Amino acid sequence: MEERKNGKTALITDLTKLYLNDMVSRNEGKILMLGSEVSVIPNPMMAVYGATKAFIKSFSEAIRNEIKDKNVTITVLMPGATNTNFFKVVGAGNVKGADPQKTASPADVAKEGYEALMQGKDHVVAGWMNKARVAIAHVLPDPLLAANVRKDMTPKQSEEDQKNVITIAVLTGALVLGGLWLFLKNRNGFDLKPGSAYDRARYWHKAKDAERSAKKTLETVSNAVKDTYKKARTAVEEELA
């Protein structure tokens, strides 16, 4: 069979056949399959995982229909990102979707799955936010869904780097402008100093040279900041492309 090329789907198929035959024979039993919200949403950067979850849902729904005349039910639990070691194990602990504030409680997910199993439901999407995402997935085109999911698989560091660049740019600009303002203020002081016309002219000349130097420095720093920001922005956009 084609699905046996994937070890996980092969194992699920074999275990289902093993236990389901006994349940059908005695006309009693319940099976809880662990799917995911990505069972119905493309999952870039974890394509095989997402495809496996899609297989689980399709396989379960088909088998459920085949045994609809029996007192045996198959329920698919479809949680979203859950606060477990999953992301660390698969090497994705630094992606946006792994943020603990965005992940569900394992206990809450298990509770919803158990209740749905006991009620004989065909599937349950754990969490109201995930319910909304899955509902929308049946309306929006797959390319748009895939692009949105990929954002969750983007390293959090990329966004933080961009914020850091903006912060540095603002602080640098403020420091340079502040220094220029202080200098211009002192320059005016040179004009008011007593002394000969030669001294005043000499102070004025030095002030103009310093002013040009400050403006050139400000322009150089500004260009450097803009270039750094553009590079950071390009890197982030490439990650999201």
Residue 9, domain CATH: 3.40.50.720
Whether 175 and 220 share a structural domain = yes
pLDDT at 56: 95
Q: Of 116, 132, 154, which closes a domain?
A: 154
Strands (DSSP E) contained in 111-214 are: 123-125
Whether 163 and 137 share a structural domain = no
How far is it, in rounded angstroms, from Cα 235 to Cα 241? 10
Whether 165 and 148 share a structural domain = no
Whether 31 and 83 share a structural domain = yes
Amino acid at 74: I
pLDDT at 236: 47
Q: Of 154, 177, 208, which closes a domain?
A: 154
Whether 80 and 190 share a structural domain = no
Whether 163 and 44 share a structural domain = no
Whether 52 and 74 share a structural domain = yes
State the distance between the two ends of the chain, measured CA to CA, in whole angstroms: 35
With a threshold of 0.75, does the pTM exceed it? no
pLDDT at 131: 84
Whether 20 and 63 share a structural domain = yes
Take residue 31 and report the two structure tokens written for it.
């099976």
Whether 43 and 122 share a structural domain = yes
Q: Give the total number of structural domains in the chain.
A: 2
Residue 49 · residue 38 · CB < 8 Å: yes
Whether 184 and 147 share a structural domain = no
Q: How far is CA 48 from its chain centroid? A: 18
The DSSP string of 7-52 is HHHHHHHHHHHHHHHHHHHHT-EEEEEE--GGGSS--TTSHHHHHH
Whether 120 and 34 share a structural domain = yes
The range of the structural domain enclosing residue 210 comes to 157-240
Over the chain (241 residues), the average pLDDT of each successive run of 10 is: 56 92 96 93 88 94 95 94 70 62 81 95 87 84 85 64 56 60 55 54 61 61 57 52 48
For the chain, the helix, strand and coil percentages under 3-state DSSP, each to the nearest 5: 70, 10, 20
Q: Of 102, 136, 154, which closes a domain?
A: 154
